[in-house]
Amino acid sequence: MVNRKINFLAQSGLVPESLAFRLACTAEVICRVINGRSLPHALSTVFSGMAFSPSTRGAIQDISYHVLRNLGLVRFLTEKLTRKPPEPLLLQNLLHCALVLLLPENGILRYEPYTVVDQAVQAAASIRTLSKAKGLVNAVLRRFLREQTDLLEAARQRPEACWNYPAWWIDRIREAYPSDWESILEVGNTPPPLTLRVNRRKSSTDAYIRLANSAGIDAVAIGPCAVKLAHPVPVDKIPGFNDGLVSVQDAAAQLAAPLLNLENGMKVLDACAAPGGKSGHMLEMANIDLLALDCDHWRLQMIHENLERLGLKARTKKGDATKQDWWDKKPFDCILADVPCTASGIIRRHPDIRWLRRPADSQELSALSMRILENLWSMLKPGGKLLLATCSIWPEESEQQARTFSARFGAQRLEAPGQLLPTAKDLIDHDGLFYALFKKT
């Protein structure tokens, strides 16, 4: 599958700036996600080996996110509009990409319907493996436009199409949060806010808001170091980003470092540290001896790059948090254990997660994170603190995990936020994270 992208896109004859080309590229991205790749990996693979303008890259990425946030609905529509599942998979996903552009967002269509139909047909006609299906593409999309009122009403009766999640995900959310399940699902289908963390060593929240305003960017403080932009902008357009004045970090994620109550001179471990956002925050707060650990060499490089941009230093090491062969046997004062999880609390930012995860994943990852916690606990000084953090909203990965750990190891549980649900109900507007703080007595 690696080389097929170059063949069918490079040889299609489609103009790179055309919607037809962008639909073809996005269909290939969605194919890769359906075959088990993460959305960032799928995008990077499709973008590699060919020259894409920034506008084309942005459009392909935007449509990809839009499709994955509406995949349950467009799958339902395709099922109703065809006698059998279209083959190959690329054709099916081309229809999904075109259908999603025929759905209004907040009452507004991105493109005129006739443009979407014409360009989808052009995309099919220009791809050798799909050329015989251009008539099907034309018929399906035109039928949708004729029957969309009835089709969308029918979709509201099918949970997967109505909410755009797998049925098991919907059921699990309803069971875990019977009072909040609808709002959690709704928020998961919306674009996330762009929240920044101000580097307190280089600026202040008030000073940075003035800097943003002077650049024509509306911003508001939502925490001691947290600033939310009224409208997302590309990273290279964020004032002071390249100079290390700010980092992109969700408001809930910015709670981790303050919970440890760090003091100068402490020896601190950030386990599973990549990409380094929480490491940077801890170093901004105190002069600590920080070890940032991760099991992946490439992810360690991300930590280096982030800390270098911020003007901060830490020791980094490649190592498995379930083992001790990387440890110097000198206990830590504080440990941040941002353990592996299903990432079910950050699906606004990663809409592919809901389609890639399986029901058994949370139990498997809970078992792994418990092995990590047990191992790290032995590295903590008496009187030291360990912070369990996850970006999951499944209880077995969060509250149940914390209770099991506390009971098994006699860990004293201190005050911490617990389960934060993803919400857009207030000014802060954060992701779904969980925190449990323990003291070793």
The residues assigned a catalytic role are 391
- Pick from 285, 355, 271, 388: nearest CA to 318: 271
Please name which of 299, 305, 306 lies closest in space to residue 338, comparing C-alpha atoms.
Answer: 299
Q: Kindly report the backbone phi and psi dihedral angles of residue 308, in degrees, each rounded to the nearest multiple of 5, phi listed first.
A: -65, -40
* Token pair listed for 176: 């875990």
CA distance 429 to 186: 13
**Angstrom distance (rounded) from CA 308 to CA 244:** 8
CA angle, corner 189, sides to 69 and 420, nearest 5? 135
Which DSSP string do the residues of 323-370 spell out, in sequence order?
--TT--SPPEEEEEEE-----TT-TTT-TTHHHH--TTHHHHHHHHHH
Please give the order of strands across the beta sheet that includes 219-221: 219-221, 226-229, 194-198, 246-248
Q: Is 107 left (phi over 0), alpha (psi -120 to 50) or beta?
A: left
Task: Using DSSP bridges, classify how beta strands 226-229 and 332-338 pair: parallel, antiparallel or unpaired.
Answer: unpaired
Q: Sign of torsion, CA 301 303 308 313? A: negative
What is d(CA 284, CA 201) in angstroms, rounded to the nearest whole number? 6
CB neighbour burial string for 153-171, b if at least 16 within 10 angstroms, e if fewer:
eebeebbbbbbbbbeebbe
Give the other-Cβ count within 10 Å of 379's Cβ.
Answer: 19
Tokens of 242: 């390249």
